[in-house]
Amino acid sequence: MKTLITALLLSAATASYAAPVDPYGYKLPPSMQTKKKKAEPKKKAAPAVDYVGEYVNFGDWKDVRAFLDDVAARNGFNRDELNALMAQVRYVDATVQLVKPAPPGKPKNWQAYSKLMIDPVRIDAGVKFWNDNSEALNRAESLYGVPAEILVGIIGVETVYGRNTGRFRVLDALTTLAFSYPEAPQRRERMEFFRGELEATLLFARQSGIDPLSLKGSFAGAIGMPQFMPSSLMKYAVDFDGNGKIDLLNSSTDAIGSVAAFLVGHGWERGQGGPLVYAANVSPNRAWETMLNQGLTAKYRTPELTAAGVTATTPVPEQQTYGLVDLQNGADPTEYWLANNNFFAITQYNRSYFYAMSVVELGRAVRLARGGAPAPAVTSGM
């Protein structure tokens, strides 16, 4: 998922965009508008892979052999076939470098981040995606209770509607990270996570009748338009187009239904109504600071928030619970928001306030560009 930011920085395509009027007073960032339409550069044929894999004979590694023994015994795989498969897997240093924590540098800046994630290219692509997939989006909204604009926002943020799905072989990326994760806090836990994802990849490939080496994805092994990790694919992906197979790379319909199923499986509540987030003011006494970083959950009721000095800039439903979200803006003042449970369901997709807020705002911007005005996902008080 994180590869998308880099990919977007390299994108030179821009498109014309006229800012619509939002009936709820939400102001679109200037980055969503351009004065002139520029010609898109000619696309070059994408290489089969975007990295150089190194043969290291993973099959000789003690930990790999133990893993394969366990996977074969637990799942009924032929051990010789696993050996033959592992002989074709390559070590990819690029994945190791990309998972390393970013060096200390500039403070987090929501406004800068949002300009990358909510731009004319994504908005125009989102309008086309919504128009082309309106039936599937309406059906997913009806079945799962997740608004179309949230589904559009997630797929847009993840891969610009399938444009940037990654070209790493999933087995290469996952094996490298499962057995050669860089030195970092919780290294052992991260390696166990990727070993679980490697096993899920093998199971999915067998279940689907495909060559596991044919699966391509991100540097961390995420697959398809919605960038599902293999375990999420196994648990939440659905055959939403009814053709008898799950294809998150080529089927927009499967991607839409699968994202909706994932959100419901991670706490999305049907029928909450109203925005997912409300702009808030905080008092100088800073008693509210204890409400920050309390996990990705909405746990406070409005009387508790008010007592701590947090007030929404517009009325909020008092029957709901909220979490206090801080969006840092570098040297500029931090923004504070009250977020409900459905906002935090989005953070289960990517554990970042910036990510969830960009999903909300991109989906809303695409809806406005189409001329629609259903219930708002964000109330800014502007």
Report how far residue 43's alpha carbon sits from residue 26's, in angstroms, rounded to the nearest whole number.
35
Catalytic site includes residue 335 = no
Residues in the chain: 382
Q: In the block, which residue shows the tokens 């306030």?
A: 353
As a whole number of angstroms, the distance between CA 237 and CA 230 comes to 10
Q: How far apart are CA 254 and CA 264, in angstroms?
A: 15
Tokens of 291: 């409400």
Q: Closest by alpha carbon to 158, among 2, 50, 334?
A: 2
Of 158, 197, 199, 361, which one is the catalytic site residue? 158
CA–CA dist 147, 376 (Å, integer): 10
CA distance 197 to 299: 31
Contact by Cβ (8 Å): 294, 260: no
**With the C-alpha atoms ordered 348, 354, 358, 361, is the resulting torsion angle positive or negative?**
positive
Q: Which two tokens stand for residue 30?
A: 């200037």
Residue for token pair 């008898």: 244
The structure tokens listed for 55 are 């043969």
Return the active site residues: 158
